[in-house]
A and B are shown apart, each in its own frame.
Chain A
Amino acid sequence: MTNVFLQLLINGIIAGAIYALVASGFSLIYSTNKFVHFAHGGVIALSAYFLFWLFSKLGLNFYLSAPLTILFSSLLGYTLNKIFYRPLRAKKSSSSVLLVVSIALLILLESLVLLFFGADVKIINFIKNNQGVEFFGAIITPSQIAIILVSVILFFALFVFMKKSKIGKAMRAVADNRDVAEIVGISSEKIYSWSFIIGSAIAGCAAILISLEQNITPTMGTNLMIKGFTGAIIGSITNVPGAILGSFLLGIVENFGIWFMPSGYKDAIAFILLFIFLLFRPQGILGIKNNQK
């Protein structure tokens, strides 16, 4: 007997966990740097393909490929900041300019993926998913369980890091008020770099977990980015817990939404929510209103 409600809820939580993985890294970067780093989606996509290359193409052990992938994604994020964003920031480019450049970078990264790996779908066969586990009338697969468990641990670790560690506190200081942070001796450029390293490391984890559960496609970056971004906006783009909360909400609303309408409109639900929140509550559910310049 299938419990539809519970199944939708579980599907929603899983989707939410995936979006939250994307959103947490992204909002960490946004809150620190104060611009929209759209290319974050590209980092996820490229990392997923990197994992594929190591694990499926080169046959490297998964427990070696995964950490290497995280290393790769951190490095990629750090490099993007160093080569592209930092020089523009030095030129006092507006955040709109950085937004446009980040979109261009997203397209650049996705096109590189298309170029080197082709358009067809790739799969990472690490966890056997053909047999789901029954759970009070709903089905959940092993990789989905893995996603939920690992992401919760990750979020908790991130929370502790932001609250307790020196770098985490410095990041929150810069996010709050960069000028004051610099006065007390925090180098904002260094913090920007760290935010990209850590945010992109989370992106790497996201790539790994998502690839276990879903197919890898060249446009997965854009799609995930839109969903993650929407989740972040719904919760609060300027604080990471808010982004995570918003993403889970998005996942759940999406999945319950298709109870009422054709499943093709699932994405449309996200877009409409995005549009509505940007118009009426851009600071998100948990955010504080501040003046839009």
Chain B
Amino acid sequence: MIDAYFIHLLILIGIYLILAMSLQLSLGYSGLLNLGHIAFFGIGAYVSAILSLSGVPFLISILVAGIISGFFGWLLSLPTSRLKGDYLALTTLGFSFVVYAIFLNWVEITKGPFGLPGIPRPNIFGIDFSSNTFFLILVVIFVLISYFFIHRICNSQFGKALEATRDDELAAKSLGKHTLKLKSISLVVSAFFAGIAGCLFASYITFIDPSSFTFINLIPILLIVIIGGLASLRGTILATIIIVLLPEPLRFIGLPSSILGPIRQIVFALMLILIMYFKPRGFFGKVDLE
């Protein structure tokens, strides 16, 4: 029993980790306050769910989910390239509202508020991933792949160029950097991996509905990136583990879920407020939120 519970937690940590690292890339390294990030998670989830339910093999579904998410990342980057700070945050937030409204209303494809049940667990080259233990292995593989790419990007000169764009875009431009392209790529990659996380989420829970992709669901992810510290992947990993595990002890106190839900949100909200006041750079961050 306890084993199964830990495996469940590890799977959640893995999925959130990919989602958080992808946000870290666009927020911490590129300085893009993308409050609409949850939309990419949702797009990945819905695309892969629809494909899987139509019998498309998992590896293709997850790749297509990532690519389509990435495409929306590119779409979002175009008009928002000259926006900064608040206006960027609000516009991206508006984007996530539009996407949510589509999830809710395009009933022919998404079944609206009823959601999509019965999403099959992956079956790759004959190996069935219905068991959570196997699924965990799958998640770990994708976490490693995501970490590899995101880490390489962030720690290379490309990452430095992103950070330069974040710190002073005009100065970066006057060194000849095509900052629009840099920011676009950052959003595309960020969206791609969020889409991957979305696919894993859909396959794990086997049921998705629009309520998992409202902007409230972004708060834990935002909290992770900020608490871990902007522009620190190390911090993101540590913070993911803490944030996923933190509300868990509450389960054992025997409170009903109608109380647990709000308490979890209150804890996250308070943590976000406190961190912004006491330690706005988080554990390992060296960068402030501008």
Known: A264-B104, A268-B102, A293-B84. A119 touches B266 (CB 8 A): no
Interface size range of chain A in the complex: 35 or more
Chain A hits for B89, CB < 8 A = 96, 99
Q: Is the CB of A94 within 8 A of B288?
A: yes
- Which label, helix, strand, loop or mixed, suits the secondary structure of the A interface? helix
Task: Check B216–A107 contact: CB distance below 8 A.
Answer: yes
Tell me if A87 and B277 are in contact (CB < 8 A).
yes
A99 / chain B contacts, CB cutoff of 8 Å: 86, 89-90
Contacts of A271 in B (CB 8 A): 94, 97-98, 100-101
**Per-residue contact bits, chain A 91-120, to B (CB 8 Å; 1 contact, 0 not):** 101111101110111011011101100110
B79 and A101 contacting across the interface, CB-CB below 8 Å:
no
A262, B105: Cβ atoms under 8 Å?
Answer: yes
Q: Does B265 lie within 8 Å of A101, measured CB to CB?
A: no
* Interface assignment of B59: CB less than 8 Å from any CB of chain A: no
**Given that A112-B262, A112-B266, A268-B98 are known contacts, is A101 also in contact with B273, CB under 8 Å in the complex?**
yes
**Residue of A36, A101, A115 touching B272 (CB-CB under 8 A):** A101
Is B290 in contact with A94, judged by CB distance below 8 angstroms?
yes
Whether B266 and A111, one on each chain, are in contact in the complex, defined by CB atoms closer than 8 angstroms, is yes
Given contacts A118-B258, A226-B97, contact A96 B86 (CB under 8 A): yes
Whole-angstrom distance between the alpha carbons of A283 and B226 in the complex? 30
The yes or no answer to A179 lying at the interface (CB within 8 A) is: no
Q: Do residues B105 and A96 form an inter-chain contact, with CB atoms below 8 A?
A: no
B261 interfacial contact with A, CB 8 Å = yes
CA–CA, A118 to B259, complex, Å? 8
Tell me the number of A-to-B contacts counted with CB atoms below 8 Å. 121
Residues of A within 8 A of B272 (CB): 100-101, 104
Given A94-B289, A104-B273, does the pair A35, B86 have CB atoms closer than 8 Å? Answer: yes
Q: How far is B88's CA from A95's CA once the two chains are assembled, in angstroms?
A: 12
Mark each residue of chain A from 264 to 281: 1 if its CB lies under 8 Å from any CB of chain B, else 0. 110110011011001100
Q: Is B285 an interface residue (CB 8 A)?
A: no
A35: chain B residues at CB < 8 Å are 86
Q: Report yes or no: B276 in contact with A274, Cβ–Cβ below 8 A.
A: no
Residue B263 at the A interface, CB < 8 A? yes
Q: Are A282 and B87 in contact (CB under 8 A)?
A: yes
Name the residue in B33, B104, B262, B268 with the highest tally of chain A Cβ atoms < 10 Å from its Cβ.
Answer: B262
Is B67's CB within 8 Å of the partner chain A?
Answer: no
Partner of B85, one of A95, A226, A265: A95
Give B249-279 as 1s and 0s: 1 = Cβ < 8 Å from A's Cβ atoms.
Answer: 0000000001101110110111011001100
B282 close to A (CB within 8 Å):
no
Query: Which residue of chain B lies nearest to A83 when distances are taken between CB atoms in the complex?
Result: B273
Contacting residues, chain A, for B288 (C-beta < 8 A):
94
Beta-carbon contact of B280 and A93 below 8 Å: yes
- State how many angstroms separate the Cβ of B282 from the closest Cβ of chain A: 13
Identify the closest chain B residue to A277 (Cβ): B94
**Is the beta-carbon distance between B265 and A279 smaller than 8 angstroms?**
no
A84 contacts chain B at the CB level, 8 A cutoff? yes
The answer to whether A274 and B104 have CB atoms under 8 Å apart is no
Q: Which residues of A contact B100 (CB under 8 A)?
A: 271
Would you call A292 an interface residue if the criterion is a C-beta within 8 Å of the partner chain's C-beta atoms? yes
Decide: A268 and B265 in contact? CB cutoff 8 A: no
Which B residues between 188 and 218 are near A, CB-CB below 8 angstroms? 216
Is B179 engaged at the interface, CB distance under 8 Å to the other chain? no
Q: Find the B residue at minimum CB distance from A34.
A: B86
A97-B276 in contact (CB<8A):
yes
The answer to whether the Cβ of B150 comes within 8 Å of any Cβ in the partner chain is no
Measured CA separation A271–B99 after assembly (Å): 9
Contact B94 A278 (CB under 8 A): yes
Q: Is the CB of A267 within 8 A of B101?
A: yes
A88 at the interface (CB under 8 A from B): yes
Cβ–Cβ < 8 Å partners of B266 in chain A: 108, 111-112, 115
**Interface set, chain A 199-240, CB cutoff 8 A to B:** 222, 226, 229
The interface residues of chain B lying within 8 Å CB-to-CB of A268 are: 98, 101-102, 105
Residue B95 at the chain A interface, CB threshold 8 Å: yes
Residue B80, interface by CB 8 Å: yes
**Closest-CB distance, B229 to chain A (whole angstroms):** 15
Nearest Cβ in chain B — how far from A252, in angstroms? 19
Contacts A91-B277, A114-B261 hold; do A292 and B94 have CB atoms under 8 A apart?
A: no
Q: Given the complex, which residues of A lie within 8 Å of B97, measured CB to CB? A: 226, 267, 271, 274-275
CB closest chain-A residue, reference B105: A264
B144 close to chain A: CB less than 8 A? no
Q: Is there contact, CB below 8 Å, between A107 and B219?
A: yes
Set of chain B residues within 8 Å of A95, measured between Cβ atoms: 85-86
Complex Cα spacing A112 to B266, Å = 7
- Confirm or deny: B222 has a beta carbon within 8 angstroms of a beta carbon on chain A: yes
A residues within 8 A CB of B101? 265, 267-268, 271
Q: Which residue from B98, B216, B222, B273 sits with its C-beta under 8 Å from A275?
A: B98
Flag if B262 contacts A115 (CB, 8 Å).
yes
Q: Beyond A267-B101, A274-B97, A279-B80, list 12 extra A-B contacts (CB 8 Å).
A: A100-B276, A101-B272, A103-B219, A104-B270, A107-B219, A107-B269, A108-B265, A115-B259, A262-B105, A264-B105, A275-B94, A293-B84
Q: Which 10 A-B pairs have the closest CB atoms?
A: A268-B101, A271-B97, A108-B269, A111-B262, A275-B94, A111-B265, A114-B262, A104-B272, A278-B91, A115-B262
